[in-house]
Amino acid sequence: MVEQNLRFRSDEPVGDPAVTVDAFADQSNATAVRIEPGDDARALLPHLDRLALVEVNFPTYGDGRGYSAARILREHGYAGELRAVGDVLIDQLSHMRRCGFDSFAPDQPISAEAADKALATWPEVYQKTVDGRPAIWAKRHSA
């Protein structure tokens, strides 16, 4: 298991080792899985109820497939821990939170203070995603 560095959940962290997406399909007792950039997150959709931890690996910060993977899982109701792992930089935290990540295990540790500052960067957001924040258009037209 990867040592998590930042966590925005109050439940107990899962101790199980994360298995690959391929291995997960054959292991009915696994509760943690790790998505690599080329994996199709939709393969996990039938099993969301037994998952407690999904790690999404970012081997390089510029490979943005993990953002879609995270959002797809949340859009389909996954409520467990969603952890970004790897080349996760401070300037990406805000977007990652918006796509549903709620824990981070960056290769280079990020302090809680720096993370709080980064996450406070955007006072508003233009899009509705999976983080529950109302989009600007919703605020403009709230009764």
**Residues that bind other proteins in the complex, under the rule CB under 8 A:** 37, 40, 61-65, 67-69, 71, 75, 89, 91-92, 94-96, 98-99, 121-129, 135-141
Closest approach of Cβ 38 to other proteins, in Å? 9
Cα–Cα distance for residue pair 48/77, rounded to 1 Å: 8
Residue 20 belongs to what H/E stretch?
strand 19-20
Smallest gap from residue 29 Cβ to other proteins (A): 29
Q: What is the 3-state secondary structure (H, E, C) of 35-83?
A: ECCCCCHHHHHHHHHHCCEEEEEECCCCCCHHHHHHHHHHHCCCCCEEE
> Which CB, 79 or 136, lies closer to other proteins?
136
Q: Are 45 and 21 in contact (CB under 8 A)?
A: no
Residue placing its CB nearer to other proteins in the complex, 3 or 38 = 38
Q: Which is nearer to other proteins, 11 or 143 (CB)?
A: 143
* Shortest distance, position 123 Cβ to other proteins, whole Å: 5
User: Residue 25 or residue 135: which is nearer to other proteins going by CB?
Assistant: 135
**From the CB of 113, what's the least distance to other proteins, in Å?**
14
Instruction: Report CA 34 to chain centroid distance, whole Å.
Output: 11
CB of 14 to other proteins, least distance (A): 25
CB within 8 Å of 6: residues ≥ 6 apart: 93, 103, 104, 106, 110, 112, 115
**Which is nearer to other proteins, 30 or 83 (by Cβ)?**
83
